[in-house]
Amino acid sequence: MKGKVFFVGAGPGAADLLTVRAARVLERATVVLHDDLVQAEVLDLAAPNAIVQNVGKRCGHCGTTQQTINERMIAFASEGHAVVRLKSGDPALFGRLGEEIDALREAKIEFEIVPGVTAALAAAASSSISLTDRRYASRVVFATASLARDERQDWPALLASGTTVVIYMPGRDYAKLAAELIAAGAAPDLPCVVVTRAGAPDETASFATLQTLHSVESAAPSVVIVGEVVASKLRGAAAREAATILSAICV
């Protein structure tokens, strides 16, 4: 009998950000094939007798090939296993889900997708930013800095007034990224925030403008939120600081 593959979103890190369905599926799985960034506390939800394998791929590091991942999913499911393909964030966002679905369809393996909290939402939440604050943004765009075949993003097509842009996998050269955005028409003083390991206990957030983005030091994985909605966060912080100073003066 053939089993089934569940593509499960592990969310940004913390186990309590998993959906109830994701936790239940993970607890019942007999095989778990997980990304490298999935936190240990999430993996701890798997059954003690489950086969758990790290099949992660990280930029700049050797990892499991996509072909191998596909073959393992098919092999385990063909043996009758309930296979969880555990992906960081949401499976459908920048996780090569399409290629894995195609492989399962070709092998006639049943599958199901369980969504998760993507890094953009976790970063916005922890930074107290409304991605679509109606005063500043009427749309939000999720994009990557680099495309397939090492092509760069078409920033002029994505940048527009009233748009919040969340950049996944921005790379390590923030000076280059900022230069591309400014060349595409973004204002040099447009505010942005770099959030590293969004949703994890060791998350960090660095606020800047495009013209100062080059000074941010951040390790992967990170997302960059660019737009006037970030300015609202900074204005709020400045207002609170001014109120604190005024209160101290009055006392």
* pLDDT at residue 16, as a whole number: 92
Which tens digits make up the pLDDT trace of 131-172? 999 999 999 999 998 777 777 888 998 988 889 999 999 998
Whole-number Å distance between alpha carbons of 54 and 239: 46
35 catalytic per annotation: yes
User: What order do you get walking across the sheet with 4-9 strand by strand?
Assistant: 51-54, 31-34, 82-87, 4-9, 110-114
* pLDDT at residue 70, as a whole number: 97
Domain boundary among 114, 140, 173: 114
Per DSSP (E only), the strands in 3-123 are 4-9, 31-34, 51-54, 82-87, 110-114
The helix (H) or strand (E) run that includes residue 105 is helix 97-106
Residue found by looking up tokens 């990280």 in the block = 58
Residue of 145, 192, 188, 185 whose CA lies nearest to 164 = 192
> Does 225 fall in a domain?
yes
Q: Is the peptide bond before 221 cis (omega within 30 degrees of 0)?
A: yes
42 shares its domain with 135: no
Return all residues near 24 (Cβ < 8 A) that are at least 6 apart: none
168 shares its domain with 187: yes
Domain boundary among 114, 135, 170: 114
CATH code for the domain in which residue 82 is found: 3.40.1010.10
Using DSSP's 3-state secondary structure scheme, residue 212 falls into helix
Whole-number Å distance between alpha carbons of 180 and 154: 9
> Does 243 fall in a domain?
no
Catalytic residue among 35, 87, 90, 233: 35
| pLDDT < 50 positions in the chain | 236-251
* pLDDT at residue 61, as a whole number: 57
* CA 141 to the chain's CA centroid: 13
* CA 142 to the chain's CA centroid: 10
* pLDDT at residue 183, as a whole number: 96
Confidence (pTM): 0.87
**Which domain, by its residues, includes 229?**
119-237
124 shares its domain with 232: yes
> Does 130 fall in a domain?
yes
Q: Which tokens go with 171? A: 């790379």
Catalytic residue among 2, 4, 57, 176: 57
Domain boundary among 85, 114, 143: 114
